[in-house]
Amino acid sequence: MRPNGTDPGGDAEHGWSRVTSMARWLARRRPPAVATPAVSVVIPVYNAAATLAECLTRLFQSTYVDFEVVLVDDGSTDQSPAIAANFPVRIVPTSGRVGPAAARNVGARAACGPLLFFIDSDVMVAPDTLARLADRYARGDVDGLIGVQAAAMRHRDLVSQYKNLWMRWTYVRQTGEVPLFYTTAAAIRRDAFLSTGGFDEGYGNPNVEDTAFGQKLARLGIRVRVQPELEVEHVKRYSLGGLLRTDFLRAVALTRLKLRHRTELAHNNTSVPATYMASVPLAVAGAAALGAALLLGTHALAAAGAVLLAAAIALNANFLGAIRTSEGWGRAVAATPLLGLELVVVGTGTGVGLLTYVLGRRY
């Protein structure tokens, strides 16, 4: 049984009768659509059959009803379009596979509501998520809001917990106006979004397009805040290889992004803490020293490498403390070598990003 009470065996491909009956029931209980909904939920979808039915069901179980769903089908080859057709959503196809950045732009242009709420197809909102969003915007003091991942998650393996808790921790600690945008769950006034030109479509694959967009919003003076009470569940499982590949590619892309805006090199305009950034070169140097010690049999190099790695881990004590608070000492201890390995991979990605930028790669 999943934490949300659903049966893991009832996925989209094996539960068509349940999906269809639930969608019809939701459609019957939903009030007639108003001419212009207050909120447009924009979901880019590519081969999301495993989670899409639950994502849409959760949305239509919202206590807040003045919304529409604009589902942008980005060339799916699975049953995603058929699943979506069972729900009262507007399906907007792209012109082939264009990537999530361009797909979100398509959805934003097609949306009717004055407030855009971007989520991914593996994100599950709470019944009051949209109501909280609307209430917060009613204050009139922000243009954009960023939600956070809930601490509770259904995938309990070490790697998935590590990454999902990292994504929660790095955002929930943010205060004031931030140069960020996190499309797992983020809202913005439609007029403000369109005035910026939208997401940078140079990012053809999921990467740092939301980070780049958040930085652009800050340059334009568009006010964005993190709203910790706006919690969603991100149903994402990570393998070790998948985690390291994601972090490597993200490091490459973030390095190129920084170099494209060199006037901002001295500013930390990402969600990554400065202590984490400082720990990356320490971990790389420590790993290099340990590798050299193994080859040369030098105890002094081994000791130096161990000290450098220990210092890198110590700089991330707050994050490990967050894991301990959420999951206990055992998980925090188990996460420590994973953190060290991740730092080395991120450092390698940073080096590759720098080298490839010099060679002409900008994205």
Percent of the chain with pLDDT over 90: 88
Q: Region 3-27: what's the mean pLDDT?
A: 49
Asked if 19 and 102 sit in the same domain, the reply is yes
Predicted structure pTM score: 0.90
CA dist., res. 75 & res. 258, Å (int) = 31
pLDDT at 60: 97
Asked if 148 and 20 sit in the same domain, the reply is yes
CA dist., res. 273 & res. 271, Å (int) = 6
Asked if 216 and 67 sit in the same domain, the reply is yes
pLDDT per position as a tens digit, 138-176: 999 999 999 999 988 899 999 999 999 999 999 999 999
Asked if 64 and 145 sit in the same domain, the reply is yes
pLDDT per position as a tens digit, 98-120: 999 999 999 999 999 999 999 99
Give residue 66's identity as a one-letter amino acid code: D
pLDDT band for 32, please (50, 70, 90 cuts): low
In terms of DSSP H, where are the helices of the chain? 16-29, 52-60, 80-84, 100-110, 129-137, 158-172, 190-196, 209-219, 240-260, 274-296, 299-314, 317-327, 329-358
pLDDT per position as a tens digit, 39-78: 999 999 999 999 999 999 999 999 999 999 999 999 999 9
Of residues 326, 321, 317, the one with CA closest to residue 276: 317
Asked if 162 and 269 sit in the same domain, the reply is no
Residue 96 lies in a domain: yes
Asked if 128 and 92 sit in the same domain, the reply is yes
- What is each CA distance from 193 to 190, 198, 232, in whole angstroms? 5, 6, 22
| Whether the predicted pLDDT of 9 surpasses 50 | no
pLDDT band for 31, please (50, 70, 90 cuts): low
| Whether the predicted pLDDT of 13 surpasses 70 | no
Asked if 162 and 196 sit in the same domain, the reply is yes
Q: Which two tokens stand for residue 320?
A: 């490990």
pLDDT at 19: 61
At residue 112, the 3 state secondary structure works out as coil
pLDDT at 207: 86
Distance of CA 331 to the CA centre of its chain: 22
Residue 243 lies in a domain: no
pLDDT at 8: 43
Residue 140 lies in a domain: yes
| Whether the predicted pLDDT of 83 surpasses 90 | yes
CA dist., res. 6 & res. 317, Å (int) = 36
Residue 304 lies in a domain: yes
| Whether the predicted pLDDT of 88 surpasses 80 | yes
pLDDT at 363: 93
pLDDT at 205: 84
pLDDT at 126: 97
| Whether the predicted pLDDT of 277 surpasses 70 | yes
More confident residue, 205 or 320: 320
Asked if 231 and 278 sit in the same domain, the reply is no
Residue 129 lies in a domain: yes
Look up the domain containing 42 and give its range.
12-238
Asked if 270 and 347 sit in the same domain, the reply is yes
pLDDT at 225: 98
| Whether the predicted pLDDT of 30 surpasses 90 | no
Percent of the chain with pLDDT over 70: 90
| Whether the predicted pLDDT of 279 surpasses 70 | yes
Mean predicted lDDT score pLDDT of the chain: 92
Residue 106 lies in a domain: yes
In the chain, the number of structural domains is 2
Residues near 128 by Cβ (< 8 Å), separated by ≥ 6?
Answer: 62, 63, 64
- What is each CA distance from 322 to 145, 146, 332, 345, in whole angstroms? 23, 20, 8, 22
pLDDT at 1: 41
Asked if 230 and 312 sit in the same domain, the reply is no
Give residue 2's identity as a one-letter amino acid code: R
Q: Kindly give the interhelix angle for 299-314 and 274-296, rounded to the nearest 10 degrees.
A: 160
Strands 115-119 and 39-45, by their bridges, are parallel
Q: Report whether 256 contacts 362 (CB < 8 A).
A: yes
Asked if 267 and 153 sit in the same domain, the reply is no
Instruction: Give the CATH number, domain containing residue 136.
Output: 3.90.550.10
Residue 298 lies in a domain: yes
Q: Region 182-197: what's the mean pLDDT?
A: 97
Residue 169 lies in a domain: yes
Asked if 224 and 343 sit in the same domain, the reply is no
